[in-house]
Amino acid sequence: MNTALRLQPLNPEERDELANVESATIKKLIEKRTNQCCNCCGFTKKLGIRDNWFVQDPCGIVCVVITYLLMFYGEFAVMHVILLPIGFNIYSISQMIIFNFFTIMAFLSHLKAMMTDPGAVPLGNATREKLNDLGLKIGQVVYRCPKCICIKPDRAHHCSICRRCIRKMDHHCPWVNNCVGENNQKYFALFTLYIALMSLHAISLAVTHFVLCVRANWAVPTCSTISPASTTVFLIVLGFESLLFGIFTIIMFSTQLHAICTDETGIEQLKREKARWEKKTRCLGMKAVFGSPMSIHWFNPLATPRNHIGKEEIYMYNV
């Protein structure tokens, strides 16, 4: 089982095992393992998503649908059960703006994390021509992934679900139906942040609304436009959902910040891999993921990070 995934060294002096592989075979592999979105609606281009990346995993797609349904329920419960019955005043309008801001930002962050290429290594590039282009010196080797037939960069790992090698792969998240890697870690971190803020805000609104209505014995018209029993059920479900996903996303956001600040991905921490790269400082790590310099765009999922500070030479190992 491990033999199929074992990295195989390729030296320029060694015989190229892929020299006799027909170009049609490589082309077939690329067509089979390219996670492409049809972009039939054109919505991704309007959001600045140029990769057209979409992992066609049934389990991941189901998780994405569940995620959007949960977000829709939170929007329905907060708006139609809690805020709209109060009427349009300073309190309700301000709470509507805040909650809907978190919802929109969470949705955009999720969409960008799901449909951005996480850092997939080009398929079928482990050829003699590519090795010659690298200009390898004596004492340097590169590694080939037998699944992707590609030159495997340092700190890259093969994902069996995406069926690609991903640069700086942290983990594969079914809730965004994508790997979290070099190119989309910012969007995943923002998604967990805004979902956590949504959850905390929803819990505070639900608890406040329930306590005030119980004290008023549900006699105040602003408590609900439906029966007190139905309102109570909606509030309990909203509170349970918000508490569960609030705790989960706070933990995930914390682990992402820790991985960024320590310059170690989740897989590297799990496997306790020794650092073969020069680790970035906390400041450089944050800038490498969220962009440089530090600005309000760090919290904007539509803003693409301009650069990767301290990016390593990904195609070479020194041995």
pLDDT tens-digit map of 28-60: 555 555 666 655 666 555 555 666 789 989 999
pLDDT at 29: 58
Q: Which of 38-47, 88-97, 266-275 has the highest mean pLDDT?
A: 88-97
Q: Whole-angstrom Cα distance, residue 313 to residue 246?
A: 38
Are 117 and 159 in contact by the 8 Å Cβ rule? The answer is no
> What single DSSP character describes residue 88?
S
Q: Whole-angstrom Cα distance, residue 211 to residue 206?
A: 9
pLDDT at 7: 46
Report CA 142 to chain centroid distance, whole Å.
Answer: 28
27 pLDDT tier (thresholds 50, 70, 90): low
pLDDT at 6: 43
Q: Whole-angstrom Cα distance, residue 124 to residue 163?
A: 13
Whether residue 158 is predicted with pLDDT greater than 60 in this model: the reply is: yes
> What single DSSP character describes residue 122?
P
What sign does the dihedral 303-304-307-309 (CA atoms) show?
positive
pLDDT at 89: 92
Residue of 275 and 272 predicted with greater confidence: 272
pLDDT at 219: 82
What is the rounded average pLDDT of the residues 102-114? Answer: 96
| Residue 145 is a catalytic residue | no
Whether residue 12 is predicted with pLDDT greater than 80 in this model: the reply is: no
pLDDT at 312: 44
Which has the minimum average pLDDT: 211-215, 236-240, 251-255? 211-215
Total Cβ atoms within 10 A of residue 154: 17
In terms of C-beta density within 10 A (0-12 exposed, 13-18 middle, 19 or more buried), how is residue 140 classed?
middle
Whether residue 218 is predicted with pLDDT greater than 70 in this model: the reply is: yes
Are 134 and 2 in contact by the 8 Å Cβ rule? The answer is no
What's the count of helices (H) and strands (E) in the chain, helices before strands?
9, 8
pLDDT at 109: 96
Joined tokens for residue 306: 């301009």
pLDDT digits (tens, 9 = 90+) for 193-203: 999 999 999 99
Q: Whole-angstrom Cα distance, residue 121 to residue 144?
A: 11
pLDDT at 36: 61
pLDDT at 147: 82
pTM above 0.75, yes or no: yes
15 pLDDT tier (thresholds 50, 70, 90): very low
Give the CA-trace dihedral at 167, 169, 173, 174, to 10 degrees: 50
Report CA 289 to chain centroid distance, whole Å.
Answer: 12
4 pLDDT tier (thresholds 50, 70, 90): very low
Which has the minimum average pLDDT: 77-81, 213-217, 223-227? 223-227
pLDDT at 52: 77
What is the rounded average pLDDT of the residues 227-249? Answer: 94
Catalytic residue among 159, 173, 179, 213: 173
